[in-house]
Amino acid sequence: MLPFRDGLAPLRLLLPHGDSATTIVEYLEREMPDDDWRRAIRDAEVVDEKSRPISVDTRYRAGSQVYFYRVPAQEVPVPFEIGILHEDDDLLVVDKPHFLATIPRGRHVTETATVRLRRQFDCPDLTPAHRLDRATAGVLLFTKTKHARRPYQELFSSRNATKEYEAVAGFDAALDFPRVVRSRILKEHGVMTAYEEPGEPNSETLIELIELIELVDTVGTSARYRLFPKTGKTHQLRIHLSSLGIPIANDPYYPVFSSVPADDFTRPLQLLARALNFTDPLTGEPRRFVSARTLEL
């Protein structure tokens, strides 16, 4: 297969059955006419599943795979740096800023933590062991080697890593803290927001009140909270606080969705992955990483 280039893996295309093309280049030029396929083929940048370069005469074979590069669309640069908290032979732990997605997906490809860091550290095997929403800042762990990838990813899939978050949100004197919120959260593919519905809970968050705060130009009292999610459903913390009637400050999704321009970096969601604790699966040592960022409105 083709190697990574500029922090990005090559794309994979499965050639469909029932197509009338006689050669692979005929199919590619018809389906993706804006790409210079003959130049890419000449430069050996289009290969099959066995890493063999194709030629302009390579026959179309339904069910076979083709790997190639594509130039990503121009993106709005995220004007914030990624902080480095720790690096060793297997791990890279960073302090992700708000507005930067974790992995390439949809309209965010080059402006993601994964691609930026692969380029910065010249490490194509760099892979996130877990994810943070684009809107959420804080501690994010990457593996640098293939042998470390599975043990660290299983820390999160098996819920053996303790995640500690901090949020600035509304305040309701009628609510008692600490409290545990459990609910059933669902998200439909292609829909930006998730939602709660009656039924067996699949999400759980412990919420602690840290302090009351007075925010400028805000009606009523706000507060700073510490949150410990036991599960990791999409937008879980945002939904749980919103469901209590105390949504996180600057949340454009909950309780009411509003679209934010891609170049608007003025109102970061007041949610921070403050700390990450776990027993290292390779060394058995206790690990704790803490974000140096602060939530400032």
Asked if residues 153 and 287 have their Cβ atoms less than 8 Å apart, the reply is no
Is the distance from CB of 63 to CB of 47 less than 8 angstroms? no
**Listed residue (159, 156, 234, 164) closest to 196, CA to CA:** 234
**Non-local CB neighbours of 112 within 8 Å, separated by 6+ positions:** 100, 101, 102, 103, 104, 105
- Residue 133 annotated in active site: yes
From residue 132, give the alpha-carbon distance in Å to each of 38, 162, 225.
39, 14, 18
The catalytic position among 125, 133, 263, 264 is: 133
State the pLDDT at residue 235: 97
Cα–Cα distances (Å) from 75 to 32, 83, 106, 118, in that order, read 20, 21, 11, 18
pLDDT of residue 188: 93
Block means of pLDDT (10 residues each) for the chain, length 297 residues?
A: 85 92 94 90 94 95 92 89 97 98 87 95 95 97 96 95 97 97 94 95 98 74 96 96 97 94 94 98 96 89
SS (H, E, C) the chain: CCCCECCECCEEEECCCCCCCCEHHHHHHHHCCCCCHHHHHHCCCEEECCCCECCCCCECCCCCEEEECCCCCCCCCCCCCCEEEEECCCEEEEEECCCCECCCECCECCCEHHHHHHHHHCCCCCEECCCCCCCCEEEEEEECCHHHHHHHHHHHHCCCCEEEEEEEEECCCCCCCCEEEEEEEECCCCCCCCEEECCCCCEEEEEEEEEEECCCCCCCCEEEEEEEECCCCCCHHHHHHHHCCCCECCCCCCCCCCCCCCCCCCCCCCEEEEEEEEECCCCCCEEEEECCCCCCC
Output the pLDDT for position 219.
Answer: 60
Question: What pLDDT, on a 0 to 100 scale, did the predictor assign at position 26?
Answer: 95
Residue 297: its pLDDT value, please? 66
Closest CA relative to residue 103, chosen from 93, 113, 91: 113
The radius of gyration computed from the CA coordinates of the chain, to the nearest angstrom, equals 23
pLDDT at 217: 59
Q: What is the pLDDT of residue 218?
A: 59
Instruction: Write down the pLDDT at residue 216.
Output: 61
Question: Rounded to an integer, what distance in angstroms lies between the CA atom of residue 129 and that of residue 233?
Answer: 16
